[in-house]
Amino acid sequence: MRVVDLRDGSWQESEALIYLQKRAQLQFDAYEGIVKEIINLVSQRGDEALYELSLKYDGVDLKKLGIEVPKEELKRAYEELPSEVKSALELAAKRVRAFHELELERGFFHQDGGVLCGLKVLPLEKVGVYIPGGKNPYPSSVIMNVLPARVAGVKEIVLCCPKVHKSVLAAAYIVGVDRVFRIGGAQAISAMAFGTKSVPKVDKIVGPGNVFVSLAKRLLFGFVDIDMVAGPSEILIIADESANALWCAWDLLSQAEHDVFSASILITPSEDFAKEVIGHVSSLYKQLPRHEVLEKSIENWCYAFIVKDLMHACEVANFIAPEHLQIATERPLEVFENIKSAGAVFLGHYSAETLGDYLLGPSHTLPTGGSARFFSALGVYDFLKRITFMQVSQTGFKALCEPAMVLANLEGLEAHRMAIEVRCKVWQ
C-alpha cells in the first residue's frame, strides 16, 4: 500500500491519481479482440456457439446439462437451503424490495391553455441479469439486480450464470426470476443481446461481471441497453483520527480481495493514522484465503493519500468518484455535504460497506472507475421507459402556430412550415 502526499497545490496532477483513472482501460485493452470474436460467433451461430464457448471458457458442457435450468430446480434449491441461509436471503430480499419501492416513478399530466402534455411511464418488457459464477456464488447479486426490475414491473426477467450454485438458484426463486441459463462471460451477454434459439433477446442487460462481461456490454450497447460499463471494484475511505484503524483496514481488504485490479484507497489528514492502517493491511492480508489476489491488488491499486484537511479529502474523493465511499469521521454528515460524486456512501464508523453488499437496501450494482460522475446506482428507474404525449386543441394551436412557423422558416424547413399553415386555413 503506497503513501502519497497530496498537500501541495498541484495534487490533481498526481501520478497515482492519473494511474487510478486508467485502471479499467488497462484491462479492456488486453481483451477487446477476444470479446469481439466471441460476439461475432454468437451472432452468427447462436446456440452452437454457446455450446463451444461455454465448454472452452467455463468448462460447462451445455449439451449434457442443457442451456436452461429447469424451473423446478430453483424451488428445490430453495427448499434444500440451510434455514439460516434461507432466512438471511429472505431478509435481504425484503429490505431491498422495500427500499426500491420508494423509487417508483409516476407519470403526469400538465395543462397549459389549449395544450395538454404528459408523461407515460412504462416498465421494460424483458430484462437480462448477469451473475458471475466462478469459484464463489453470488446470490446477493441476484437479489440486488433482479428486485429493482421486479419492482418496476418488468414482465420477464432472465438470468445467466455459467455455474449455477444452489444458493444462486434459491435466490432466483425468492425474487421470482422467470428463466435461468447456464451460460457466462461475453457469450452470455451476446446471447441476451441478439437472442438465440434457446435464449430470448432482451431489452436491457444488467449485473456485474469480469472484464469479458464488461467489454461485451460496452461493445453491444445500442443492440441492447445496459446498466453501466463496470470495471473492477473499489472502495475509498475518508477517515480522521476518530476512526478505528483496524476496522478501516478490514474495510479496505474487503474490496481488495475481489480482484487483482480492485482499488482500496484511504484519504486522511493524519499521517500517523495512515501508517497504522497500512500496518494492519500489510499483516492481515497474508492470513486470508485469497492472499495471492490481495497481494497484487495491494501492490498496484491500494493507496493512502495524505491531505490538508477533511474539505481537501472531499475534493480528492470527488475527483476519484469512487464506487463505494465510507466516511469514517467524527461528524460524517458534515463531510457528506461536500460529496458530489460517489456510487454509494456509508456514513459513520459502523456503516461498513459490507453491510451494503448484502442487507441495507439500495442495490449494490454501482458505477466504478470514476463513472460515478455521470452514472448512478442501479434502481427502479433503470427499468422504466418514458413516453411523452401531447394533445393540442384549436385554441392551443392558434396560440402557437405563428411562432412555430417563424422557427420553421428560421431553420429552412418548408414542409415543417406548411404542416402548420394548412391547419390555419380552418378558420381563415
Q: Are 18 and 150 in contact (CB under 8 A)?
A: no
Residue 123 Cα distances to 107, 110, 131, angstroms: 12, 22, 22
CA distance 219 to 329: 41
Residue 88: name the closest of 157, 143, 132 by CA.
Answer: 143
Looking at residue 284, its pLDDT comes to 96
Closest CA to 368 of 320, 312, 326: 320
Residue 373: partners with Cβ closer than 8 Å, 6 or more residues away: 321, 341
Evaluate whether 341 touches 367 at the Cβ level (below 8 Å). Answer: no
Active site residues: 323-324
Give the mean pLDDT of the chain: 95
Distance, CA of 224 to CA of 216 (rounded, Å): 11
Please give the radius of gyration of the chain, using alpha carbons only, rounded to the nearest integer. 25
Q: Cell triple for residue 328?
A: 469514517
pLDDT at 231: 81
Distance of alpha carbon 369 from alpha carbon 300, whole angstroms: 15
Q: Which residue has the higher pLDDT, 256 or 134?
A: 256
19 CA to centre of own chain:
22
Helix (H, G, I), strand (E, B) or coil at 224: strand
Q: Identify each DSSP E strand in 302-405 by its residue range.
A: 302-306, 324-328, 344-347, 384-392
- Give residue 428's pLDDT: 62
- pLDDT for residue 216: 96
What are 188-239's pLDDT values in tens digits? 999 999 999 999 999 999 999 988 999 999 999 999 999 998 888 999 999 9
Task: Give the model's pLDDT for residue 31.
Answer: 87
Residue 272 scores a pLDDT above 70: yes
Measured distance CA(325)–CA(366) in Å, rounded = 11
DSSP type of residue 70: P
Tell me the percentage of the chain whose pLDDT exceeds 90: 89
Percent of the chain with pLDDT over 70: 99
CA-to-CA separations, 287 to 233, 255, 294, 361, in angstroms, rounded: 21, 16, 10, 31
Answer yes or no: are the C-beta atoms of 168 and 121 closer than 8 Å.
no
Average pLDDT estimate for 170-195: 97
- Strands (DSSP E) along 192-342, which ranges? 204-206, 225-226, 234-239, 263-268, 302-306, 324-328
Q: Domains (ranges, CATH) in the chain?
A: 2-27+231-373 (3.40.50.1980), 46-228 (3.40.50.1980), 393-424 (no CATH)
Per-residue pLDDT band at 122 (split at 50, 70, 90)? very high
Question: Per-residue pLDDT tens for 273-331?
Answer: 999 999 999 999 999 999 999 999 999 999 999 999 999 999 999 999 999 999 999 99
What are the Cα distances from residue 108, in Å, to 100, 103, 111, 237, 390? 20, 16, 10, 41, 12
Say how many CA atoms lie within 13 Å of 413 toward its Cβ: 10
CA distances from 13 to 52, 218, 346, 370, 381 (A): 47, 28, 28, 16, 36
CB distance 104 to 380 below 8 Å = yes
Report the pLDDT averaged over residues 11-27: 82
pLDDT tier at 362, thresholds 50, 70, 90: very high
d(CA 23, CA 321): 13
